[in-house]
């Protein structure tokens, strides 16, 4: 199959498949992390860089704090593409952009989008698979972005929300040829029937999701596979059948990035052997027309509800949020998008309607891990205790903390590491109860811990 794409493309790629993949991370700019001096930058992502080797990420508190995301370098092109498209659309939108990531787990591209979209945008991150949707919700929470909701279900359901989104990203389920170097399972699963099956699913999703895109909006289509059927042919279908206008993203100005094969549409291919990253295909398509009045009228211009007392006390810019309580959990939603989030709930299942900031316990409200990691948290609203490395790891394993510094007030305390929030504990005097969620607890034998944290944010290639 690869040979049919031409020897100039195929031969370096085939050779590269026998070499190990690189390791790269994206520093989380929502949490103010800067890239270390001397880092080998990913050419198309200002905050992405390569590591010399793969550290034990689980042993690094900064990874648990969401200060960076481990992501294949090719996928980081989303940071560049979404920034470019949001610059194009923002002036004409007249409201916070609505971005749908239709196939979003584990969340690499959603979190990249959240970093570059304007702060008043809303990201709806959707995933079909229940287990993967949980991981997605966890990664969105770790990113700290206060303007994201997570939904679970077949992405085609969004077809019911006609003209609702300014940007729709379809990082489609695919035959995974571009991941074969990283995931041996992709080699075992591959067959021509799988390619045909994936192409049919992609077509079904694209046809529905095109309905959810507003006129003048942009659909980003990507896969991590090499064959034309799942790539250029899907783009050409949207151009031919729906009058989609393919956008010149100019990504081939980055060395080693190829344009699509056998198409007049603007398509881009990233492949091992040509770039330092895995296989990725990407294209952006504009829907013809201009935004209609009905789209505007769906927008909630003013806060629809009041922000609650807990939100007022603990969130920065609290007036920008409204409170909603569901099944004993208090959520903070961006006020300008609250009505829209309610309309998403009519189309599909909303797992996370905003940032879960507190859990009701009797008459008390217990602050959550999501609140600790949220970029919207007003850190000064809690007593903070700085932890050393061993204490941070003890906390992440879910053990109780024996000694907090003298003078630490009783009640909820924010444990910090490196000056950034790690999670909450409840100081009861002689010890502090650990509020780190059971499901997230680190199962790492303390005997296997390095003496100092791996800290890849300070490593360079
Ligand atoms: N965008 C993700 C990221 O960057 O982390 C990777 C997405 S992966 C290529 C495709 C995802 O689509 C998988 O998690 C898969 O479970 C999900 N998926 C498959 N069928 C789907 C459907 N009908 N609706 C929504 N998601 C679906």
Quick: pLDDT tens for 226-264: 999 999 999 999 999 999 999 999 999 999 999 999 999
pLDDT at 341 over 50: yes
Average pLDDT in the 303-310 region? 66
Report the pLDDT value the prediction gives residue 284, as an integer from 0 to 100.
98
> 427 CA to middle of ligand 1, Å?
41
Q: What is the CA radius of gyration of the chain?
A: 23
Q: Strand 420-427 and strand 432-434: pairing?
A: antiparallel
Is the preceding peptide bond at 2 cis, omega within 30 degrees of 0? no
Encoded tokens for 78? 């989303």
Q: Ligand 1, atom 21: nearest CA belongs to which residue?
A: 128
Residue 457 CB–ligand 1 contact under 6 Å:
no
349 within ligand 1 shell (Cβ under 6 A): no
What mean pLDDT do residues 393-399 have? Answer: 95
Residue 128 CA to ligand 1 centre (angstroms) = 7
Confidence at 455, pLDDT banded by 50, 70, 90: confident
Kindly give the interhelix angle for 232-242 and 192-212, rounded to the nearest 10 degrees.
40
* 104 within ligand 1 shell (Cβ under 6 A): yes
Q: Is 230 in the pocket of ligand 1 (CB under 6 A)?
A: no
CA 419 to chain centre: 24
What's the gap in Å between 316 CA and the centre of ligand 1?
33
Instruction: Quick: pLDDT tens for 136-194.
Output: 999 999 999 999 999 999 999 999 999 999 999 999 999 988 888 878 787 788 888 99
| Residues β-bridged to residue 272 | 275
d(CA 113, CA 277): 19
Instruction: Please list the alpha-helical segments (H only) found in 125-182.
Output: 130-143
Residue of 45, 198, 224, 267 marked catalytic: 224
Going by C-beta distance under 8 Å and a sequence separation of 6 or more, which residues neighbour residue 360?
A: 325, 328, 329, 330, 366
Distance 331 CA to ligand 1 centre (A): 25
Q: What separation in Å is there between the alpha carbon of 172 and the centre of ligand 1?
A: 6
CB 75 near ligand 1, within 6 Å = yes
- Which of 94-98, 141-145, 259-263, 393-397 shows the lowest per-residue confidence on average (mean pLDDT)? 94-98
Distance in Å, CA 408 to ligand 1 centroid: 45
Mean pLDDT, residues 282-296: 79
Question: Mutation test of ligand 1: which of 70, 99, 103, 194 has the most ligand atoms closer than 8 Å to its C-beta?
Answer: 103
Q: What is the pLDDT of residue 296?
A: 40
Residue 294 has pLDDT above 80, yes or no: no
Is 224 an annotated catalytic residue? yes
Question: Confidence band (pLDDT; 50, 70, 90) for 460?
Answer: very low
Cα gap 241→408, rounded to integer Å: 65
Q: Is 72 in the pocket of ligand 1 (CB under 6 A)?
A: no
Question: Beta-carbon neighbour count of residue 208 at 10 Å?
Answer: 17
- CA–CA distance, 67 with 458 (Å, rounded to integer): 12
Closest to 142 in 3D by CA, of 396, 371, 419: 371
Out of 76-85, 141-150, 237-246, 297-306, pick the least confident: 297-306
User: What whole-number distance in Å separates Cα of residue 291 and Cα of residue 312?
Assistant: 35
155 lines ligand 1 (CB under 6 A): yes
User: Of the residues 123, 127, 131, 137, which should be mutated to test ligand 1's pocket, given the most ligand atoms within 8 Å of the CB?
Assistant: 127
Cβ pair 123, 113 in contact under 8 A: yes
**Residue nearest atom 22 of ligand 1, based on CA coordinates:** 154
Cα of 171 from ligand 1 centre, angstroms: 7
Give me the pLDDT at residue 441, please: 94
Q: How far apart are the first and last CA of the chain?
A: 34
- Residue 158 class from Cβ within 10 Å (0-12 exposed, 13-18 middle, 19+ buried)? buried
Residue 221 to residue 231: CA distance in whole angstroms = 9
Whole-angstrom distance, CA of residue 113 vs CA of residue 143: 11
Closest C-alpha to ligand 1, atom 19: 173
Question: Rounded to an integer, what is the distance from CA 203 to the centroid of its chain?
Answer: 24
Residue 223 CB–ligand 1 contact under 6 Å: no
**Percentage of the residues of the chain whose pLDDT score is greater than 70:** 96
Q: Check if the beta carbon of residue 421 is closer than 8 Å to that of residue 373.
A: yes
pLDDT at 187: 79
């Amino acid at each position: 199959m690869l040979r049919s794409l031409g020897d100039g493309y195929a031969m370096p790629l085939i050779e590269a498949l026998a070499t190990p993949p690189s390791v790269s991370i994206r520093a989380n700019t929502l949490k103010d992390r800067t890239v270390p001096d001397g880092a080998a930058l990913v050419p198309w992502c200002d905050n992405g860089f390569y590591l010399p080797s793969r550290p034990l990420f689980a042993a690094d508190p900064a990874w648990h704090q969401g200060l960076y995301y481990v992501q294949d370098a090719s996928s980081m092109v989303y940071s560049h593409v979404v920034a470019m498209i949001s610059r194009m659309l923002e002036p004409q939108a007249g409201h916070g952009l609505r971005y749908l990531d239709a196939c979003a787990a584990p969340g690499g591209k959603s979190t990249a989008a959240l970093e570059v979209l304007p702060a008043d945008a809303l990201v709806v991150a959707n995933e079909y698979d229940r287990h993967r949707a949980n991981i997605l919700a966890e990664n969105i929470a770790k990113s700290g972005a206060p303007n994201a909701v997570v939904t679970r279900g077949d992405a085609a359901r969004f077809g019911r929300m006609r003209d609702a989104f300014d940007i729709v990203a379809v990082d489609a389920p695919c035959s995974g040829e571009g991941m074969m170097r990283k995931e041996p399972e992709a080699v075992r699963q591959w067959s021509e029937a799988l390619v045909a099956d994936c192409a049919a699913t992609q077509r079904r999703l694209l046809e529905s999701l095109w309905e959810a895109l507003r006129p003048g909006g942009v659909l980003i289509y990507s896969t991590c596979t090499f064959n034309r059927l799942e790539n250029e042919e899907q783009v050409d279908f949207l151009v031919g059948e729906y009058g989609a206008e393919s956008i010149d993203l100019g990504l081939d100005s980055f060395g080693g990035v190829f344009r699509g094969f056998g198409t007049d549409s603007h398509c881009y291919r990233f492949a091992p052997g040509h770039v330092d990253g895995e296989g990725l295909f990407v294209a952006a398509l504009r829907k013809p027309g201009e935004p209609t009045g009905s789209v505007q009228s769906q927008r909630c211009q003013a806060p629809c509800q009041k922000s609650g007392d807990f939100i007022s006390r603990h969130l920065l810019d609290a007036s920008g949020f409204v409170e909603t309580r569901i099944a004993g959990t208090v959520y903070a939603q961006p006020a300008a998008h609250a009505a829209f989030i309610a309309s998403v709930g009519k189309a599909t299942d909303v797992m996370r309607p905003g940032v879960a900031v507190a859990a009701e316990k009797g008459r008390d409200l217990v602050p959550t891990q999501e609140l600790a990691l949220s970029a919207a948290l007003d850190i000064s609203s809690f007593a903070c205790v700085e932890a050393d490395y061993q204490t941070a790891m003890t906390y992440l394993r879910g053990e109780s903390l024996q000694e907090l510094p003298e003078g630490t007030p009783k009640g909820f305390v924010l444990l910090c590491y490196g000056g950034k929030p790690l999670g909450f504990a409840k100081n009861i005097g002689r010890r502090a109860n650990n509020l780190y969620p059971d499901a997230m607890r680190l199962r790492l034998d303390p005997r296997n811990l390095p003496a100092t944290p791996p800290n890849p944010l300070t490593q360079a290639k």
